[in-house]
Amino acid sequence: MQVTRIIAIRHGETAWNVDKRIQGQLDIGLNDVGQWQAAQVAQALGDEEVDAIYASDLLRAWQTAQAIAEVTGCHPSPHVGLRERGFGQFEGLTYAEIEASWPDMSRQWRQREPLWAPPGGESLVALRERVLATVSGLAAQHIGGQIIVVAHGGVMDMLYRLATGQGLQAPRAWELGNAAINRLLWTPDGLTLVGWADTSHLDQAVRDESIS
């Protein structure tokens, strides 16, 4: 059977994550917490057999991938198909600012209308097609092996929906944590879910620090 194992990682925390500011495809780096999270997830993956690491070329994902590369010894390759959803005119703004300036568009966004896109941005349908094509294309190059994919919250959300059959408008009841470990299987028939939102490597590190 043609199977590729995928470890999908969202980048570590950024200052804009904390501020609830839309990053989209703006190039924001990790904050101190995010750099720590990247180091922790790297250590957690140190014993994994990895054939390739692919990462969004945006700095926050690339920094996370580089931390993983230092431990696994597998050099990351950038891929624009793993970028966050393009939010166009919304990028750089907070949720509150978007609601105040464009209440109608904010409603369409909250209701997850599949074909709606922010001005200059991507629709959910376009994002899903991009994520599926990118991840399927990468996984098909490593049949029988395992790859790490480092990307963004929107990409992780699409991977979960694709693997579980959740529709684009289904309310999200799953976590998209920074530096969480998510595991999937890819075959030519699609994605299936193995494990999701493992943050034990982050929890254990916090407990260890509180003891010392």
**How many structural domains comprise the chain?**
1
Structural domain contains residue 102: no
Structural domain contains residue 10: yes
Would you say residue 212 has pLDDT above 50?
no
Would you say residue 204 has pLDDT above 70?
no
Active-site residue, selected from the candidate residues 11, 13, 91, 122: 11
pLDDT tens, position by position, 35-62: 999 999 999 999 999 999 999 999 999 9
Question: What mean pLDDT is predicted for residues 123-151?
Answer: 98
What's the predicted TM-score (pTM) here?
A: 0.94
Would you say residue 207 has pLDDT above 80?
no
Structural domain contains residue 116: no
152 in active site: no
Q: So what's the pLDDT on residue 210?
A: 40
11 in active site: yes
Alpha helices in the chain (DSSP H): 15-19, 32-44, 59-72, 95-101, 103-110, 124-139, 153-164, 200-211
- Report the DSSP pairing between strands 146-151 and 76-78: unpaired
Q: So what's the pLDDT on residue 78?
A: 98
CATH of the domain at 38: 3.40.50.1240
Phi-psi label, residue 88: left if phi above 0, alpha if psi -120 to 50, beta otherwise: left
Q: So what's the pLDDT on residue 1?
A: 76
Active-site residue, selected from the candidate residues 84, 91, 122, 152: 84
Structural domain contains residue 108: no
Q: Could you give the percent of the chain with pLDDT greater than 90?
A: 95
Q: What is the rounded average pLDDT for all residues in the chain? A: 95
Q: What sign has the CA pseudo-torsion 192, 23, 26, 125?
A: positive
The CA angle 158-161-165, to the nearest 5 degrees, is 150
Question: What mean pLDDT is predicted for residues 3-29?
Answer: 97
Domain extent at residue 13? 4-87+123-211
